[in-house]
Structure 1
Amino acid sequence: MANPCQFLQDQADELEQQIQDLTDELPELPPSARAAVRAEIARLRRQLSTVRGRLRACNVDPTPFLLQMDGIEVTQAIQDMRHSVALIAGKRTAVRVYLSYYASPDIQVRGELLARSASGAFFTIASTNQPLLSSANAGNLRPKRLNASLSLNFILPAEMISTGRWDFSLNSLLKVSTGSPLTVARPITQRVTFVNGAPLRVRVLGVRYSTGSPAVQHIPSDLDYNLLFSWLRRAYPAPQVIATRALIDISSSAPPVFGSGDVNAQLAAIRALDVSGGADKRTHYYGMVSDAGFFMRGSAAGIPGSPDPSTVASGPTGSATWGWDTDGSYGDWYGGHELGHTFGRFHPGSGCGESSDDPSFPYPNGQLASDDSSYCGFDVGDPALGIIPAALPGTLWHDVMTYCQRQWLSAYTYDGIRIRLTAENALPAGAAPGAGGAPDRRFPEHLQLSKETGENLINVVARVNLTRNEGKIQYVHPVAAGASETILSVSPVLLRFKTKSGELLNEYRVPVKLDSETDQRGEVTGLVDAILPASPEARQIELMIGETTTDTFRAGGRVRPIKSVRKLKEPNAMGLSWEHDAVAEEGTSYVVQASTDEGETWFTVGVGLKTPEFRFDAKQFPGAKRIHIRILATNGFAQTVVQSEVFEVPR
């Protein structure tokens, strides 16, 4: 059995060493400094005498020392006993009290935590569990940190996680079987500071698609969305996750078995339209695809080296466990991985199959920690989803940017995303334009494009393969003045604006946001997402890679006004159809946007539509009472807009 007096012996040994070090140093000091050092030696000797007295008493009768406190850890997702990981005000927080009991039989305890703020306010809170204290673990901190059931845990309420300094200590401890109070030797007060953090803004678009004959539709489940939002709240370094969701149909131009590159192109076009419609430009967009029809490997359209919320990403979701995930959906940590790329995080090269792009990653094999005495992950849980708090051992769990099993955020990734979130939050009303892509292909030489009077802003989205010199323009839409303009770079990709007859008007070298995941052939692919000024005479856009013209977009005919909009009368869906004042000319496509705030902001729910009708599910607007819908008809360079009647959401 462990010795309950050992901590006193350790204290005595440490004091003796300090006294010896100062005594050895004394002859080397100038005479003027020796008096202060002698005073410190005298103080340490008095302290040593007290400790030796307690040690002698403990050796005679250890009973008062049988129950001891080993430490207090304040954690939100990942932490060490030195509390080197920043604590974010407003983020769900756990306090773990570690106790040792040096007697038999084992005892079960419950307790009360005391919290004191720097202003002097104090609060108490009861423990959320009743751990069994066993002499087998006495004096050994490791098993208690690695198992949440072996520590005395407290989940702090909102009033105890405000900005500033806080002191946490154990206010009382009771034996569960009798309700009698217990005295804890070696009580500890842990002082920490909560700092301000920045919110995570994310819009998740579920992608609806069909497979088979007869066709079967596939969409993410409510659980997929809820677990993703919950995981981001629990794992990411943000006090608040401002999350919205919607459902979109995969583009009719996408192949039957589409990839994340196809989804990311669609997301980029939608995001540009949303920002043009008043959406917060600091919002990250993520596409989620059910694996019920097929498995779509995820990716981000770039790994930006500076704050750039316009970088989009997408990934799969479903109920597979991957050998370790039993909560019903793997879309949570998978989404955390792809979104991590949009915050500038690279693959660490763990040996689990991902690329090795981050030589600064500090832990072996992609782990959360080098050993179990340093960092330990902690999932604070989510009662609404039945997720209980759990310790995540640092040598067993892996960083979310790996491809390994058991994924969470290491302190390295946690702090990196925290810093990026803070930088993004400081952007004026949203994101500044960024080049995106991996740093070795970001084409750093750039200049700021100036818009000439009378020119329109056009968003061009294209997919490119730089290995094969292939590319395809997928979306072209006009956007409102004031939207972010792209910073041009030295780049192999060129967009050329021409008149209908082929006369060159402007040409711009545009950045490429390289895909975060390479394909099986190792080819370099990416996304062009550029907002550029176009002359009113522009009717064509050529996409060039090197000296090769890989695709040409030609504007449709004149965009005719929409004269009428009708609600569709269907029992299980909400929808509308519309007509022009004459037959719509070839090349006309449609965008459908919705507003739940009486037209203050508009979010895109359909893009690249070829037929004049649209159906949507009111469930994608949780909490909304009224939905405004507007239709944008465009030929790529010009558009008309009409607003429908208001839809009342059924209760």
Structure 2
Amino acid sequence: MRWNLVVLVTAVLSSTAAFSAEAINVQFLEVTQSVQDDRNSIGLIAGKRTFVRAFVEYHGASAASKVRGTIELKRAAGGVRTIDSLPSVETTLEPSENGKLDMKRKKLDRGLVFEIPQDWTGVGELAISLTGASFHNGTRLACSDCDKKGVAVSFKQGAGVRVVLLGMSYKRSGKTFAPRAVDYKSALSWLRRAYPSSDFEFETRVIDWSAAPQSFDKGLKSCNMANAAIAAIRKLDLASGKNALFHYYGLVYYDGTSEANFMRGCSSLPPSPDPSAVGSGPAGVGYDWDSSPSFAGWYAGHELGHTFGRHHPVSGCGDLDETGGDAAWPNKIPKNRLGTADEPFVAFDAGDSDLPTPMTVWGWDKAADVMTYCSYVWPSAHNYVEMCNRISAENGAQCPLSSPLMAAAGPAGLPNIAAGPGGAPLLVKNSSGLLMPVADRLGETAGAGSAMSGPVVSLTGRIDLDSGSGEISAVNRLDRSVEKAPSDKSAETPTIRSYDAQGRVLSDVPATVLLDSDRAAGDPRTGVVSGEVPYSNDIARLELLYKDKAIAVREAAPTRPAISQPTADLPRLNELLKGLNSLTAGPRQIGEFSKANGALTYTWHNQGSASVRYTVQISTNGGKDWNTVAVESPQRSITIDPTWIEGASTLDVRVRASDGIHETVSTSRPLDLGARLPLQ
């Protein structure tokens, strides 16, 4: 439906108002949430922050500054509301710019800017008209057509975006590096402002990345290691009941002192909807064009874009792609721009005063798509719609957006969601649009293309398909399956094989590979490898095989691991809680608890085999949910990050001691954070 030129009847300006000799007439009303053109061709998502940019022709002798305005909102049901323009945008009307809409749309202060109240952005139709404008002294400007020109828009229901942000804590020469509060907040804020959704569910968590390399390489090895750890954490979380639609992303802090501390980002790039795709990238400052307090926002937007199936356009800015780039990129648009003079898409960033980052607009000839390596990045109209398509497909819904520019406006029928590493197999029911976690149906037969019943051994690692090498990063026993083996096995499909102590094969199951993004033609095909085999007490050896060759091996110890019960350092708990109390007295930023004095540490002792590694999980609701905070760490202690227990009344710590295959689990006594004593 075309609604940008709908004529609306609006209220006549009051005859008692004082008018100046200068006058205006309406040129264009742009309604935007993230990116828009001069035809309002990008639809609107219900509940997302929405702005109206009113452009007028000004008939005066010289420029007028600090001009204010009002718009009227009308609902089909009869509701009416008047909104004033934002005082934070000091609008200038310049007679010399009459007729030059393209020029004005590239500047924030060349139009009157209004924010539609959120309770007026619900599903349904909305009519918008400019009712008048005035100088900063209150004198009204005569408007020749304010009662004749308006725009009608339609808000439609979008799908939700769920993201777990993991702060990857690592050490260099005894110093711990972890994301700052502003890094988390920048990432969350940018995704809310830029991504095609109004329904966001975020979780943040610091994890102990003890396996981090001593320096980060300039290629993809380091981020591939991070992604393997993140994939293992995601599977452990899912086995404990986490919603399988969460995308997991790791933030790795860059302090600006050394390139060895800058980890280049990469992600899994699934060809079909697959929430198990994980990614990681740096957070900090250091890009000349970015004046925000952290580049974590757009960097996360780029890498998460890969997990939603978006390729590099191959813009000429350094973003390469072994497949040749985004095959659906519109041929009308240069790959290093948001649009052209004929397709004038403008990026609109609502900003965030809490960071702070200002409200900004970028013209099509300055900004580039977020999936490029160019400067001033923002979602293009193409990728805004395509990400909406993928987000909607993961949720079993249809994207409400469309654009005549798009090569494809979205799938006619929703495909089955591929279950990759860590993704509880999800089926899309085309009739109802509901998602069902197949892994909850424990009666199915294990094998390629189906979930296993009963306990499983979950393996996560890294693989290089070209060199035929790999490694196992984590092995965990799960009470239930959270993924299924690939059904389209080929000559390059790796397998996981288990053996007993006599060398007899117990199981042989295909594994899934999610290749890394950001690879150029000729780069090795590296990625995360993941899979499951049925658990058995008789398993003595696990092999990761590629082309019938064992490329990584895990062996069980002759005796099962044994550890003492994790215990808390209670004297330090009082210091920690004192710091927490001081921080909760007033408003705070995400992660600000890290400023609390004192630290609560849990320790345990190895009472069995010499080679044991520890996966640590915590619960703040009495064991109902367990969040993983360390995977296969050699450390026999864990320091409780204060953000983990924010708002909690109890704390349980669970340690899973592994000999490489088998685990022994020991859980602390519940800790009453109010009384500061262990519960009996």
Which bin holds the TM-score, normalised by the shorter protein?
0.7 to 0.9
Q: Is the 8 A contact 1:65 1:185 kept in 2?
A: no
Distance in structure 1 (CA, Å) of the matches to 2:307 and 2:601: 34
Task: Point out the more displaced range, 294-303 or 133-142.
Answer: 294-303
SS across alignment from 2:229: helix
For residues 256-295 of structure 1, what are the structure 2 equivalents within 5 Å? 256-257=215-216, 259-292=222-255, 294-295=260-261
% identity of equivalent residues: 30
- How far 1:475 moved relative to its partner? 0.5
* Equivalent of 1:348 in 301, 310, 313: 313
Assess, with a 3 A threshold, how the Cα gap between structure 1 residues 586 and 486 changes in structure 2: closer, same or farther: farther
SS across alignment from 1:383: coil
* Equivalent of 1:244 in 188, 191, 203: 203
2:599 equivalent in structure 1: 573
For residues 188-199 of structure 1, what are the structure 2 equivalents within 5 Å? 188-199=149-160
1:634 equivalent in structure 2: 658
* Equivalent of 1:415 in 375, 382, 385: 385
Is 1:364 the counterpart of 2:334 in the alignment?
yes
Distance in structure 2 (CA, Å) of the matches to 1:408 and 1:376: 10
Is 1:126 the counterpart of 2:127 in the alignment?
no
Is 1:405 the counterpart of 2:375 in the alignment?
yes
Distance in structure 2 (CA, Å) of the matches to 1:637 and 1:627: 26
- How far 1:280 moved relative to its partner? 1.3
Q: Is the 8 A contact 1:64 1:185 kept in 2?
A: no
Q: Is the 8 A contact 2:238 2:422 kept in 1?
A: no
Distance in structure 1 (CA, Å) of the matches to 2:299 and 2:675: 34
1:208 equivalent in structure 2: 169
Residues 485-542 of structure 1, C-alpha deviations (whole Å, 9 max, x = no match):
3334424212111112321122122221111123897211111022332444222111
Assess, with a 3 A threshold, how the Cα gap between structure 1 residues 219 and 450 changes in structure 2: closer, same or farther: closer
Q: Is the 8 A contact 2:455 2:481 kept in 1?
A: no
What residue identity is the alignment partner of 2:503? G
Q: Is the 8 A contact 2:35 2:380 kept in 1?
A: yes
Q: Is the 8 A contact 1:456 1:478 kept in 2?
A: yes
- How far 1:547 moved relative to its partner? 3.3
Residues 524-576 of structure 1, C-alpha deviations (whole Å, 9 max, x = no match):
11110223324442221111221322121112354456553310244521221
Distance in structure 1 (CA, Å) of the matches to 2:98 and 2:530: 59
Q: Is the 8 A contact 2:57 2:99 kept in 1?
A: yes
Is 1:140 the counterpart of 2:103 in the alignment?
no
What residue identity is the alignment partner of 2:371? M
Distance in structure 1 (CA, Å) of the matches to 2:22 and 2:64: 15
SS across alignment from 1:268: helix
- How far 1:105 moved relative to its partner? 2.5
Task: Point out the more displaced range, 361-370 or 327-336.
Answer: 361-370
Assess, with a 3 A threshold, how the Cα gap between structure 1 residues 249 and 566 changes in structure 2: closer, same or farther: same
2:8 equivalent in structure 1: none
1:481 equivalent in structure 2: 480
Is 1:600 the counterpart of 2:624 in the alignment?
yes
2:125 equivalent in structure 1: 165
For residues 540-559 of structure 1, what are the structure 2 equivalents within 5 Å? 540-559=541-560
For residues 580-619 of structure 1, what are the structure 2 equivalents within 5 Å? 583-619=607-643
What residue identity is the alignment partner of 1:305? P
Q: Is the 8 A contact 1:372 1:393 kept in 2?
A: no
What residue identity is the alignment partner of 1:593? Q
Q: Is the 8 A contact 1:629 1:646 kept in 2?
A: no
Distance in structure 2 (CA, Å) of the matches to 1:86 and 1:557: 63
What residue identity is the alignment partner of 2:641? D
2:511 equivalent in structure 1: 510
2:184 equivalent in structure 1: 225
- How far 1:83 moved relative to its partner? 2.0
SS across alignment from 1:368: coil
Distance in structure 2 (CA, Å) of the matches to 1:373 and 1:104: 32
2:37 equivalent in structure 1: 80
Task: Point out the more displaced range, 410-419 or 237-246.
Answer: 237-246
Is 1:185 the counterpart of 2:136 in the alignment?
no
Distance in structure 2 (CA, Å) of the matches to 1:168 and 1:376: 20
- Taking structure 1 as the reference length, what is the TM-score of the superposition? 0.82
Is 1:316 the counterpart of 2:342 in the alignment?
no
- How far 1:300 moved relative to its partner? 3.8
Q: Is the 8 A contact 2:314 2:372 kept in 1?
A: yes
SS across alignment from 2:132: strand
- How far 1:463 moved relative to its partner? 0.7
What residue identity is the alignment partner of 1:168? I
Distance in structure 2 (CA, Å) of the matches to 1:531 and 1:122: 58
For residues 49-68 of structure 1, what are the structure 2 equivalents within 5 Å? 66-68=23-25
Residues 460-490 of structure 1, C-alpha deviations (whole Å, 9 max, x = no match):
1111111111111111001122533333442
2:15 equivalent in structure 1: none
Distance in structure 2 (CA, Å) of the matches to 1:106 and 1:645: 69
Assess, with a 3 A threshold, how the Cα gap between structure 1 residues 410 and 364 changes in structure 2: closer, same or farther: same
SS across alignment from 2:530: strand
SS across alignment from 1:423: helix
Assess, with a 3 A threshold, how the Cα gap between structure 1 residues 588 and 556 changes in structure 2: closer, same or farther: farther
2:462 equivalent in structure 1: 463
Distance in structure 2 (CA, Å) of the matches to 1:420 and 1:411: 14
SS across alignment from 2:604: strand
Distance in structure 1 (CA, Å) of the matches to 2:647 and 2:97: 50
Tell me the matched-pair count: 574
Q: Is the 8 A contact 1:113 1:169 kept in 2?
A: yes
Q: Is the 8 A contact 1:233 1:241 kept in 2?
A: yes
What residue identity is the alignment partner of 1:483? V
Task: Point out the more displaced range, 378-387 or 287-296.
Answer: 287-296
Distance in structure 1 (CA, Å) of the matches to 2:542 and 2:637: 28
| CA RMSD across the alignment | 2.8
Distance in structure 2 (CA, Å) of the matches to 1:403 and 1:295: 20
SS across alignment from 2:293: coil
Task: Point out the more displaced range, 351-360 or 564-573.
Answer: 564-573
Assess, with a 3 A threshold, how the Cα gap between structure 1 residues 486 and 547 changes in structure 2: closer, same or farther: closer
Assess, with a 3 A threshold, how the Cα gap between structure 1 residues 102 and 373 changes in structure 2: closer, same or farther: farther
Distance in structure 2 (CA, Å) of the matches to 1:323 and 1:611: 39
1:152 equivalent in structure 2: 112
Is 1:334 the counterpart of 2:299 in the alignment?
yes
